[in-house]
Amino acid sequence: MKINLLRGNSGCKIYKVNILHKEFVIKISSRASFNNTLKCQKEKQQTYSKIFKTPKVFISGYLPHNCKYFILMEYICGSKLSDIIFLYNYNYGKKILNNFFNVYITNIKFNFSNNFISNNFIFINKIENVAMKLEKFNFSNNEKLHNK
């Protein structure tokens, strides 16, 4: 078994574990008071798996020795949307964002729980932040072209 500590921004310890040539991720809350936040992240991930490819959660629960919440899930080697959107030109990046919104709006009418609604605000904020970065990227590139 091989264990690597991964870098994350969720306030959790994140480990990539290789067991018999299969890779998994274990996410453990940093403290017991963070347990509910990690549970919400798991629910959000499971909710959005209906719309996007997200890692499958195999098991979750509490570690018996310290009562911290954990998630054992599939490891998917991928990239963040905010990183890959700038690999393409502005119009293609805008098309990608429009597709995200269209899929999102198509699927939102099937989900009515309060938790899903709060997760929707998180999703919208992330997409809006990427859209703003894309607009700044386009403006910056246009400035460079006009100042040559």
pLDDT level of residue 9 (50, 70, 90 thresholds): low
Give the least confident one: 5-14, 16-25, 44-53, 137-146. 137-146
pLDDT level of residue 114 (50, 70, 90 thresholds): very low
Taking the C-alpha atoms of residue 132 and residue 31, their distance in angstroms, rounded to an integer, is: 34
For Cα atoms 16, 44, 15, give the angle at the middle one, nearest 5 degrees: 10
Stated pTM of the model: 0.59
Distances, alpha carbon 11 to alpha carbons 1, 27, 116, in Å: 25, 10, 21
Taking the C-alpha atoms of residue 64 and residue 34, their distance in angstroms, rounded to an integer, is: 16
Give the least confident one: 54-58, 116-120, 122-126, 144-148. 144-148
Q: What is the pLDDT of residues 101-113, one digit of tens each?
A: 776 666 555 554 4
Calculate the dihedral angle through the C-alpha atoms of 136, 76, 102, 104, rounding to the nearest 10 degrees.
-110
